[in-house]
C-alpha cells in the first residue's frame, strides 16, 4: 500500500497507464540496483558508468539519455523541453499565464515525466522489455533514488542502494567548460577562479567566470546559466507533479560531495561505503545483501 508521501506519484501512474499500473510493477527480481541521483555536472554519470563495470555483470542506464533522445526527436534543446513540460504542468494546475496557445506546445498531450518514471520503475524491477539480464543495474538521473524509495514503499524491495551526488557551483562551471569548450579552457578556469569566494554562489561564480580570458566567454557563460536553470526547472516540475523533492536527504543511503576531487577518489568513496555495509549495525536490512551479490570491485 502506498503511503501518503507517494500518493501523487501512484495516482499519476494509475491515471496515465491504467488502474493496474502499480500491480504490473511487481517482480520477483532480487538482483541489486544502484540508483544515482544529482544535478548536471556533479560527476554522477562518470561515477555510474564506472560502477556498472567495476563489479561483475553490471548494466548502465541513463534517464537523462532517454530525456535527451526525446528532445532530439522533437528538434529542440533539452532546456527548452524542460521549460515546455513545466508550462504544461502549470496549465494543468490552472496556473498558466496564457502567454501562448498551450495546444501549440509540441509536448501537449504527452506526460513525458510520467513515462520516464514508469520505465525507470520497470528497470529497477528488472521487467523493462529492452533490459538485458545482468547481475545488477546502475541507473543515473534526477529521480532514480526517489523511484527506488517508491518501489521499496509498495513492495518492500531489497538491495536498492540510493546515492546522491553533489558538488559546488565553481566545480560545475569548470566541468561545463571542459565538456563544451575543452580541457585547456577548463584548466585556465581551474587556475583563475578563486577558491575563497562563496563556491555555491551562482552570481559570484558567474561574475568571475565572465572575466576569464577565453574565446566567446559571454556565450559560454549564458549557456552555463541556462544549464543550471534547467536543473531548477526539473526540480520545480517534480515538486509540482508529485509533491516530492529529489534533493531531500531522506531519500538517500549515501551522499557524495565530488567538489575538488578526482573521479577515482569519488568512486572509491562509494565502494568503501559498499564495503562497510556488512560491518555497520545501523544499516537497514534491505541493504545487507548488496555487497556479496556485487562481488569484489576491480579497482
Give the mean model confidence (pLDDT) for residues 135-144. Answer: 91
Q: Identify any residues that bridge with 271 across adjacent strands, giving them in sequence order.
A: none
Are residues 47 and 138 both part of a single domain?
yes
Last residue of a domain, one of 208, 230, 252: 230
Residue spans of alpha helices (H) in the chain: 7-17, 44-54, 63-73, 78-92, 112-124, 144-155, 169-180, 183-192, 202-210, 217-242, 263-276, 290-294
pLDDT at 1: 52
Are residues 114 and 60 both part of a single domain?
yes
Entry pTM:
0.85
Are residues 260 and 186 both part of a single domain?
no
Q: How many domains does the chain have?
A: 2
Query: How many other C-beta atoms can be found within 10 angstroms of the C-beta atom of residue 109?
Result: 8
The string over 211-246, giving b where at least 16 C-beta atoms fall within 10 Å of a residue's C-beta and e elsewhere, is ebebeebeebbebbeebbebbebbeebbebbbebeb
Give the mean model confidence (pLDDT) for residues 257-285. Answer: 88
Are residues 207 and 254 both part of a single domain?
no
Are residues 145 and 186 both part of a single domain?
no
Q: What is the residue-wise DSSP string for 111-162?
A: -HHHHHHHHHHHHHTT--TT----SEEEEEESSHHHHHHHHHHHH----EEE
Are residues 182 and 152 both part of a single domain?
no
Q: Are 147 and 254 in contact (CB under 8 A)?
A: no
Give the residue numbers spanning the domain of 275: 4-167+244-294
- Closest to 237 measured CA to CA, from 61, 79, 16: 79
What is the CA 285 to chain-centroid distance, rounded?
Answer: 25
Are residues 66 and 175 both part of a single domain?
no
Are residues 258 and 286 both part of a single domain?
yes
Angle between helices 217-242 and 169-180 (to 10 degrees): 120
Give yes or no for residue 277 having a pLDDT over 60: yes
Split at pLDDT 50, 70, 90, the class of 3 is low
Distance CA 203, CA 198 (A): 10
Three cell numbers at 214? 577565453
- Would residue 184 count as lying in a domain? yes
Convert the pLDDT of each residue in 37-72 to its tens digit.
999 899 999 999 999 999 988 899 998 787 788 788
Convert the pLDDT of each residue in 216-256 to its tens digit.
899 999 999 988 888 888 888 888 889 999 999 999 999 99
How many angstroms separate the Cα of 47 from the Cα of each of 83, 99, 168, 222? 28, 41, 17, 27
How many angstroms separate the Cα of 6 from the Cα of each of 58, 124, 161? 29, 17, 19
Amino acid at each position: 500500500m502506498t503511503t501518503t508521501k507517494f500518493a501523487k506519484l501512484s495516482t499519476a501512474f494509475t491515471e496515465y497507464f491504467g488502474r493496474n499500473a502499480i500491480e504490473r510493477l511487481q517482480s520477483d527480481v532480487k538482483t541489486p540496483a544502484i540508483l544515482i541521483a544529482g544535478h548536471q555536472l556533479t560527476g554522477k554519470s562518470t561515477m555510474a558508468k564506472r560502477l556498472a563495470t567495476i563489479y561483475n555483470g553490471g548494466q548502465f542506464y541513463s534517464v537523462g539519455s532517454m530525456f535527451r533522445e526525446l528532445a532530439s526527436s522533437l528538434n529542440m534543446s533539452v532546456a527548452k523541453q524542460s521549460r515546455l513540460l513545466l508550462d504544461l504542468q502549470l496549465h494543468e494546475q490552472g496556473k498558466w499565464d496564457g502567454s501562448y496557445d498551450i495546444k501549440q506546445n509540441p509536448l501537449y498531450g504527452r506526460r513525458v515525466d510520467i513515462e520516464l518514471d514508469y520505465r525507470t520503475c520497470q528497470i529497477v524491477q528488472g521487467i523493462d522489455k529492452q533490459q538485458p539480464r545482468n547481475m545488477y543495474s546502475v541507473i543515473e538521473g534526477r529521480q532514480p533514488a526517489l523511484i527506488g524509495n517508491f518501489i521499496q514503499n509498495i513492495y518492500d524491495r531489497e538491495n536498492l542502494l540510493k546515492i546522491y551526488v553533489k558538488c559546488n557551483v565553481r566545480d560545475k562551471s569548470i566541468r561545463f567548460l571542459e565538456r563544451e569548450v575543452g580541457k585547456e579552457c577548463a584548466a585556465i578556469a581551474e587556475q583563475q577562479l578563486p577558491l575563497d569566494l562563496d563556491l555555491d554562489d551562482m552570481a559570484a561564480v558567474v561574475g568571475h567566470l565572465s572575466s576569464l580570458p577565453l574565446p566567446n566567454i559571454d556565450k559560454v557563460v549564458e549557456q552555463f546559466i541556462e544549464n543550471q536553470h534547467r536543473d531548477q526547472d526539473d526540480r520545480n516540475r517534480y515538486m509540482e507533479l508529485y509533491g516530492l523533492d529529489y534533493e531531500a536527504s531522506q531519500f538517500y543511503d549515501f551522499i557524495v560531495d565530488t567538489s575538488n576531487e578526482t573521479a577515482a577518489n569519488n568512486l572509491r568513496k562509494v565502494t568503501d561505503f559498499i564495503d562497510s555495509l556488512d560491518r555497520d549495525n545501523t544499516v537497514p536490512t534491505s541493504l545487507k545483501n548488496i555487497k556479496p551479490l556485487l562481488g569484489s570491485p576491480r579497482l
